[in-house]
Amino acid sequence: MQIKIKSLHYRYPETNFSLDIPDLTLSPGLICLVGQNGSGKSTLLKLLADLLPAGDAIKADGQTLSEYLASGRLSKIAYAFQDPNDQLFNSSVEKELAWSMKQAKLPEDEIARRTEAALKEFGLAEFRDLNPYDLSLSGKKLLTIASALVLDPEVCLLDEPLMSLDYPGRCLVTRLLEKRLAQGKTVIMITHDMDWLAENCQEVYAMSQGHLVYHGPVHQLFSDQELLDRLGLLPAKTWQLSQLLGLKPEVLSLK
Ligand SMILES: Nc1ncnc2c1ncn2[C@@H]1O[C@H](COP(=O)(O)OP(=O)(O)OP(=O)(O)O)[C@@H](O)[C@H]1O
């Protein structure tokens, strides 16, 4: 699926913050969004999820998002919130996983099959009857991601999916995202983790004050000190170490 943005302007009624994106085409693959707190990353992701109104400024395969999703395609775009507490509301882990599939009107047996598979894949099987709020923070975060991926969406919108995850959780999410990308799907995610970005992402979009100010390879972003300062970013640790050691070209990742 291709997503096109044209003359996107959004302003929260209560604040002065506004987001402006003149022209952008998002094709399948991994798209990472970086930038300082408050630069508008989550707002853009919510607009792409149709959680905030974009009118006809965002089109999916030529239709406005609302039209696209309304025509039996609720499972095509999935979204996972940055803060699990904003997302989780069912009385058990199992019900939480099944909820989005029920909204998308998937057949009952398919919902049951996918729920079982996700419980196993995300290491949540022993917690299936637990209230999501009784999970650890990392467990809650995994559940939000599982609830999005279980839809098998064309486009997965993930707001800081690596936040609060322990190392095995981080490896699991990385592996599952790689699997989706290998299937030709789209993953659009926000991250503050420059080490992960350097290891896993080819192209990055950077936001500042509601505008996209950079789109290009990660190594080019790390090479531009003025831009890094403007974005309030530090490059990956391997890059910083290369600079300390005077290595040229700098090492992007150990992968
Ligand atoms: N529901 C809302 N109502 C009013 N203003 C909001 C709302 N949500 C976010 N904002 C404001 O919009 C601006 C952009 O916020 P947004 O969450 O999109 O930034 P962000 O880049 O994702 O930040 P972070 O990295 O902290 O998540 C901020 O100034 C924020 O206070």
pLDDT, averaged across the chain: 95
> What is each CA distance from 231 to 23, 46, 63, 206, in whole angstroms?
21, 21, 33, 8
Nearest Cα residue to 83 out of 143, 1, 152, 33: 143
Tokens of 95: 């019900």
Q: Are strands 186-190 and 29-35 parallel, antiparallel or unpaired?
A: parallel
Distance CA 199, CA 212 (A): 22
Which atom number of ligand 1 is nearest to the Cα of residue 82? 27
pLDDT tier, 69 (very low <50, low <70, confident <90, very high otherwise):
confident
The ipTM, to two decimals, is 0.97
What tokens does 114 get? 């996918």
* Planar angle of CA 26, 28, 34, nearest 5 degrees: 55
Q: Residue ranges per domain, the chain?
A: 3-192
Distances, alpha carbon 144 to alpha carbons 20, 171, 173, in Å: 28, 16, 11
pLDDT at 2: 87
pLDDT tens digits, residue range 124-143?
999 999 999 999 999 999 99
- Look at ligand 1, atom 26, and give the residue with the nearest C-alpha: 37
Question: Where are the strands (E) in 27-119, listed by range?
Answer: 29-35, 58-60, 63-64, 77-80
Identity at 150, one-letter amino acid code: V
pLDDT at 55: 93
Going from the Cα of 182 to the center of ligand 1, the distance in angstroms, rounded, reads 32
Q: What is the pLDDT of residue 71?
A: 74
User: What pLDDT is stored for residue 244 in this prediction?
Assistant: 95
What is the band of 217 on the pLDDT scale with cuts at 50, 70, 90? Answer: very high
Q: What is the pLDDT of residue 254?
A: 87
74 or 135, which is more confident?
A: 135
CA of 38 to the centre of ligand 1 (A): 5
Ligand 1 centroid distance, CA of 173 (Å): 25
Answer whether CATH 3.40.50.300 is correct for domain 3-192: yes
Distance 96 CA to ligand 1 centre (A): 26
Closest residue (by CA) to atom 16 of ligand 1? 40
pLDDT score, position 114: 98
